[in-house]
Structure 1
Amino acid sequence: MAKIADQYLLVHPWKIIEEGFHADRSRVSESLFSLANEHQGVRGFFDEGYSGESLVGVYLNGIYEERFNEAMAYKGISNRLCFMVNTVNWLYTHLELDGETLDLAKSRFSNFQRELDFRSGELRRELVWETSLGKKLHLVFLRLLSMETRELAYQQIYMTPLNFSGKLTLTLGLDFSIPHRMFEQNFWNCVRREAGAILGVSKTIRHRVFAGMKVDAEAKQTPIEAEKFAGVRLDVDLVEGQETTVSKTVIVHSDRDPQQALDAAWEQGNYQLHAYASTQTYAEVLEQNRMYWEDFWAKSDITIDGDPDTQQGIRFCIFQMQQTYRGVIAGANIGAKGLTGEAYNGNAFWDTETYCLPFYLFSNPLAAKSLIDFRYRTLPQALARAKDLDCEGACYPVATIDGTESCTLWQHASLQFQPTTAVAYAIWHYVNVTGDTDFLKAEGAQMLIEICRFLASRGQWSATGKFGYYAVMGPDEFQMMVNNNAYTNYMAKRTFEFTL
């Protein structure tokens, strides 16, 4: 039976739009309405919080933690799991009116709409909140990640009382206390806090992440601090029919160096906060983003006539690819869910070389080369993994963030070799498209030779004199301990031929 999409978003050539809140799809929508700029990714969760089904998630590319399973007595089985860790919720917002808190799981509201614009990267959400006393407040929430200055992020809130005047209490902050949902545990210690700034250190790897904010509002601001929180409370005077705007400029900075001195991490973050928060407005960065995306779409757009659903779909996919990765962070890769959530632990799989790389090859060859450079940087880990399997050469991991094997299931990590042949395929594809023979003769040749050494040592000769692979799992992942899997054999053969 053919699968039919259960469509709940409006069709638009350049946006995804939700009219009316679909609470039964809240977490799906949070993924769809996510923002990213390669440095960080922010799920489309509600700024003000939501007691219904939600995953509050802000993830930084390359910022990860680790957990160890019980060590196995059998050689070659990995017990170390690396995962992209939830970081700081810089969108923390709490709205209170007459002692009542806005929570769309409990509050009465109407005219809900949110939309994500592929031509600017701006996420907009609006609604009318009606309190138990009948007061109606029109709210517009905007958020934006700068594509030019990757550490820079913005939040804006517009508030218009429709039938009253009065005081609203608004709390804005930087919250490191969010648990990592996969393990229901928080992985951060906050070692320094000041008004509007906080420095977190991850508990095991000890990554440093600085978050700082500047709030612009015509209201009294009272600093608030907790163990893992830095923020301000605003007493906002609302006048019926008049719009009030509150803007928050945020810097989320990390050098991705667990050895960095804490003072240096703080000083670098504070420098960026003062350099950008006072000099660039939301409107200015929005215009910069529009120019960035206009240039990008002029080079990379795919137009489809007569099929508006597919047109929207292909642009959404291209937009998410470009948000997730564009080659600006050295050593970055593409996790299975990008920067939108915790499934697959943020690990990169062979999908990078087989499915993602072709997009960049034809739209951004430098970014494509950076993806292959990740495999070159992590060649030492691949060499070590081959030794774990009693083989020679280099065996690339099934799942990884830092180049080590992060898949703790032996039937995948020890039997699947399509990640290794995928690296050879990526080199072949890159060289054939770009003609970069200098890369092929240097880094490319090193990887290919070590890959071939692994493939030669892992394969066996049959009694009839034919070479192949025994006790493997092919890319369909449905059958284990397979002899002469067609894909594995074919890709190994092509890798040998290309290298020779």
Structure 2
Amino acid sequence: MALISSDRTRFPVDPWKLLETTHAPGQAGALETNFSIGNGHLGIRGAHFSPADTELPGTFINGFHETWEIKHAENAFGFARTGQRILYVPDANNFTVVIDGEELSLHSSTVLDYRRSVDFATGIYTADITWACRSGAVVKTTERRAVGFEVRSNLGLSLSLSSDRPVSAEITSTIVNRQDQPVEDHTISDPRRSGRHAGRVLLPLDLEGAGGSLRMSWQTAESHQRVGVAVDHVLSTQELPVETVVDQDLSTVRYVVAVVAGETLTLEKSVSYAVADQGQDKDVRAVAAAELRPVPAIFADSTAHYARYWATSDIVVGAMPELQQAVRWNLFQLAAATARADVAGIPAKGVSGSGYEGHYFWDQEIYLLPYLTYNKPEAARAVLQFRHDLLPLAKERAAELSVDGALFPWRTINGLESSAYYAAGTAQFHIAAAVAFAANRYTWASADADFRDHQGADLLVETARMWVSLGFFGADGSFHIHGVTGPDEYTAVVNDNLYTNVMARFNLRAAAACPHPGVTDEERAVWRAAADRMHLPFSREFNIYSQDNDFMTLEAWDWDTPRDKYPLLLHFHPLVIYRHQVLKQADTVLAMFLQWQDFTAEEKRRAFDFYDPITTGDSTLSACVQGIMAAEVGHPVQAMAHFTEALFIDLDNSHNNTIDGVHIASTGGIWSSLVSGFAGMRDQGVMLNFDPRLPADWDSLEFTLKIRGGLLGVSLTHAGITFTYDAGTPLQLKVRDTVVSVAAGKPVTVPLAEMPALVPLVG
């Protein structure tokens, strides 16, 4: 059901803000996600300040998690043994406001005016509400919040209150341990959603507070991680008595104030968090307290950060304002998920929710690393460094599965495999190629020789060793990889999945070409032979590449299945889905996008025409890729339809699980849809390639890319594409069949002939 795009009265269009101007019941949880803010380390959901007006509020820190023993009904060797789940950290984003004895709440009080926003230009959340109180007073409250970037542990909150007549106000600021609070368990009906632990998880260590200041710490019961929270309050009136109560689950700071008519009372709440892993000798309370900053400084920090961010990361679309607003919301959420993650993974929901347990998947390498590589290459390097740090555990996992080299877990936080369903988890060996591909792309785009020769080389070599031991040379002379699952989780544990084989081939060739002192000439020769003889299933009957050896023999899916039976994974046993010709997401089509040099235009078009109609889009990773390839093969109507679907996945809650957090991989896919889809950018060849496919009703598309130490500006219209570059060494580019050199201070424009459009697909 459409949410924001279908009600532009309630959610007016602003190219630099997400706005809500009328409160209405329903969808509160999805909107808490849409109005969330974060910095990649710390995330705050966009809940209202009153506890009565929230659905699934919370605060998260990337990587802060609890573990538990996975209980398999029928165990087997090599099954994942330790579950991991991101935790709600003690949540400071809570106030209770009582005016003349009436607690203000959207569901029980009279609201005269309502407006809240997230400002993409500053990163600041603001909620302005005017209340008609039962005492006759008209009261306005303004809540503002922002996270820090210079100091990534910071959260700044302010609550202002004014009245048209004198009132008595009771303001209670609370810190809630939401992790140990009883909540509805959403996992019963939807495996995509995160469950909660039974029993207490956060065990109190030191809890102190006085005079409006709190210094508290907890430790997780099993993973033994610690979190410290420091909170200071500043009230903008004369010094008043304050009641401070400290408890492991609900700590409060309470003020009773006589508010003078026409004057504004402001309570500022400065918060800082610190975490420590087991074995780290760190006083988390002291660290959190040392990093506290005044609230105005946190707001200024957020504003300065986003000024720098948009200067090089904005994408301007010459299209309907609704699209520009949605594009910037997606780019804003990318920053919220990645900006200060530092050396850590990027959870599938960033730090906006608990969906998918806070795990890191292949999403970060295939869908997020392109954006980071060309917008914040130092962050891309940090994510890859995180993968490199996990190599020892990846080697242990490879040995457990009887292969050489390194095998990264399908889903993890701490480096151990936590996917309890191996058919759609561990069997997705293609994550190894995703890591190698991202490392190779970063090296290609950044020219970072140190990374190439050390971390990059290690990642390429160890994953190549895994592939050559996983696969085998068959009697037909070809190299085969059996018993794997590709990106399409509706077809599991198959032989010679095309995507897996294509990406493994890339991985083997890249490793064979990369200098590494621990690799012998004999190893390189085997890698090259395996790559050159890699089996790619092809159907002569349909004249297309087959998704795997047996895909073309499967029974067709019944496409009269009612729409309320989608996503299929919630309504059909996996075995029912596995034996049918139906896709959860683009698979072969994705392979042809990533390894674009290896397939002809005709092969890509035939594959898209076959697979697109049988792809359900049940995965939020799919629409962006389908749109990119629709643009390339000449289906502009489908390209725009898929792009729009991806653009509004969370803004419209179209998959009915936005409550659990932003689909961060899809937001990365929006960046790729614009840059690689409509601008037609392809990389990792001899030079950067562009083959633009600007939508007919768009006037222009503008963006910048950080590449080889410089900033490449790209401005696309229907008439031509213009490049600027600010680095000292000229950059070679190819636009369709034209090669140009772009030097600093010398813009280059390449005219574009109109591209013929193919007939839109039907079905």
TM-score by length of 1: 0.92
Structure 1 position 327, deviation (Å): 5.1
Aligned length: 488
Distance 1:168-1:327 versus aligned 2 partners, 3 A rule:
closer
Unaligned runs of 5+ in 2: 184-194, 513-763
* Per-residue CA distance 1:187-210 (angstroms, 9 max, x = gap): 211221111221121221122211
Match of 1:183 among 174, 196, 216: 196
Q: Is the CA contact 1:77–1:413 (under 8 Å) kept in the aligned structure 2?
A: no
Structure 1 position 350, deviation (Å): 0.6
Q: For residue 246 of structure 1, what is the amino acid of its counterpart?
A: L
Aligned to 1:314: 327
Aligned to 1:339: 351
1:4-19 matches, cutoff 5 A? 5-7=5-7, 9-19=11-21
Q: Distance in 2 between the 1:36 and 1:231 partners?
A: 24
Aligned to 1:244: 265
Aligned to 2:67: 66
Aligned to 1:193: 207
Q: Is the CA contact 1:15–1:118 (under 8 Å) kept in the aligned structure 2?
A: yes
- Matching of residue 216 in structure 1 with residue 234 in structure 2: yes
Deviates more, 1:168-177 or 1:357-366: 168-177
Q: Is the CA contact 1:197–1:230 (under 8 Å) kept in the aligned structure 2?
A: no
Aligned to 2:463: 451
Secondary structure of 2:252's match? strand
Deviating above 6 A after TM superposition, structure 1's stretches of 4 or more consecutive aligned residues are none
Q: Is the CA contact 2:156–2:299 (under 8 Å) kept in the aligned structure 1?
A: no
Aligned to 1:272: 291
Distance 1:31-1:483 versus aligned 2 partners, 3 A rule:
same
Structure 1 position 397, deviation (Å): 1.3
* Per-residue CA distance 1:118-177 (angstroms, 9 max, x = gap): 111110001122344444321111111122221222111111123x42212111132224
Aligned to 1:258: 278
Q: For residue 187 of structure 1, what is the amino acid of its counterpart?
A: V
Structure 1 position 90, deviation (Å): 1.0
Match of 2:430 among 412, 415, 418: 418
Structure 1 position 214, deviation (Å): 1.4
Distance 1:444-1:249 versus aligned 2 partners, 3 A rule:
same
Q: Distance in 2 between the 1:138 and 1:204 partners?
A: 45
Q: For residue 14 of structure 2, what is the amino acid of its counterpart?
A: H
Aligned to 1:170: 171
Structure 1 position 261, deviation (Å): 4.5
Identity of aligned residues (%): 26
Aligned to 1:145: 147
Unaligned runs of 5+ in 1: none
Q: Distance in 1 between the 2:127 and 2:219 partners?
A: 32
Structure 1 position 266, deviation (Å): 2.5
Q: Distance in 1 between the 2:163 and 2:113 partners?
A: 15
Aligned to 1:301: 314
Secondary structure of 1:90's match? coil
Q: Is the CA contact 1:124–1:143 (under 8 Å) kept in the aligned structure 2?
A: yes
Q: Distance in 1 between the 2:123 and 2:339 partners?
A: 15
* Per-residue CA distance 1:47-98 (angstroms, 9 max, x = gap): 221256x112100112111122215531121132211111011122122234
Aligned to 2:161: 159
Aligned to 2:222: 204
- Matching of residue 360 in structure 1 with residue 379 in structure 2: no
Q: Is the CA contact 1:193–1:230 (under 8 Å) kept in the aligned structure 2?
A: no
Deviates more, 1:42-51 or 1:418-427: 42-51
Structure 1 position 16, deviation (Å): 0.4
- Matching of residue 476 in structure 1 with residue 488 in structure 2: yes
Q: For residue 154 of structure 1, what is the amino acid of its counterpart?
A: G
Aligned to 2:509: 497
Aligned to 1:325: 338
Q: For residue 352 of structure 2, what is the amino acid of its counterpart?
A: T
Q: Distance in 2 between the 1:284 and 1:270 partners?
A: 16
Deviates more, 1:215-224 or 1:4-13: 4-13
Deviates more, 1:125-134 or 1:412-421: 125-134
1:230-241 matches, cutoff 5 A? 230-241=251-262
Distance 1:7-1:69 versus aligned 2 partners, 3 A rule:
farther
Q: Is the CA contact 1:42–1:340 (under 8 Å) kept in the aligned structure 2?
A: yes
Q: Distance in 2 between the 1:482 and 1:284 partners?
A: 55
Secondary structure of 2:222's match? coil
Q: For residue 258 of structure 1, what is the amino acid of its counterpart?
A: Q
Q: Distance in 1 between the 2:426 and 2:285 partners?
A: 42
Structure 1 position 105, deviation (Å): 2.7
Q: Distance in 1 between the 2:197 and 2:457 partners?
A: 44
Higher RCO (Cα < 8 Å, 6 or more apart): 1
Q: Is the CA contact 1:327–1:366 (under 8 Å) kept in the aligned structure 2?
A: no
Secondary structure of 1:442's match? helix
Match of 1:372 among 376, 379, 384: 384
Q: Is the CA contact 2:274–2:285 (under 8 Å) kept in the aligned structure 1?
A: no
Deviates more, 1:93-102 or 1:335-344: 93-102
Q: For residue 232 of structure 1, what is the amino acid of its counterpart?
A: V
* Per-residue CA distance 1:445-482 (angstroms, 9 max, x = gap): 22222211211121133332221122221101111122
Secondary structure of 1:105's match? coil
Q: Distance in 2 between the 1:410 and 1:148 partners?
A: 41
Q: Distance in 2 between the 1:449 and 1:58 partners?
A: 39
Q: Distance in 1 between the 2:431 and 2:314 partners?
A: 30
Q: For residue 287 of structure 1, what is the amino acid of its counterpart?
A: A
Q: Distance in 1 between the 2:76 and 2:247 partners?
A: 46
TM-score by length of 2: 0.61
Q: Is the CA contact 1:383–1:395 (under 8 Å) kept in the aligned structure 2?
A: yes
Q: For residue 213 of structure 1, what is the amino acid of its counterpart?
A: V
Aligned to 1:80: 82
Structure 1 position 416, deviation (Å): 0.8
Q: Is the CA contact 2:347–2:361 (under 8 Å) kept in the aligned structure 1?
A: yes
Q: Is the CA contact 1:187–1:202 (under 8 Å) kept in the aligned structure 2?
A: yes
Q: Is the CA contact 1:177–1:188 (under 8 Å) kept in the aligned structure 2?
A: no
Q: For residue 79 of structure 2, what is the amino acid of its counterpart?
A: I
Secondary structure of 2:347's match? coil
Q: Is the CA contact 1:108–1:130 (under 8 Å) kept in the aligned structure 2?
A: yes
Q: Distance in 2 between the 1:242 and 1:366 partners?
A: 47
Q: Is the CA contact 2:88–2:178 (under 8 Å) kept in the aligned structure 1?
A: no
Aligned to 2:26: 24
Structure 1 position 184, deviation (Å): 6.0
Q: Is the CA contact 1:18–1:113 (under 8 Å) kept in the aligned structure 2?
A: yes
Q: Distance in 2 between the 1:352 and 1:419 partners?
A: 10
Distance 1:327-1:133 versus aligned 2 partners, 3 A rule:
closer
Q: Distance in 1 between the 2:201 and 2:123 partners?
A: 29
Q: For residue 204 of structure 1, what is the amino acid of its counterpart?
A: E
Q: Distance in 2 between the 1:106 and 1:55 partners?
A: 19
Structure 1 position 30, deviation (Å): 0.5
Q: Is the CA contact 2:171–2:256 (under 8 Å) kept in the aligned structure 1?
A: yes
Aligned to 1:228: 249
* Per-residue CA distance 1:276-324 (angstroms, 9 max, x = gap): 3xxx3x3343233222211221111111123212211221122111122
Q: For residue 107 of structure 2, what is the amino acid of its counterpart?
A: A
Structure 1 position 116, deviation (Å): 0.4
Compare CA radii of gyration and give the structure with the larger one. Answer: 2
Secondary structure of 1:41's match? strand
Deviates more, 1:318-327 or 1:153-162: 318-327
Q: Distance in 2 between the 1:197 and 1:468 partners?
A: 59
Q: Distance in 2 between the 1:4 and 1:295 partners?
A: 28
Distance 1:155-1:404 versus aligned 2 partners, 3 A rule:
same
Q: Distance in 1 between the 2:43 and 2:106 partners?
A: 23
Structure 1 position 39, deviation (Å): 2.3
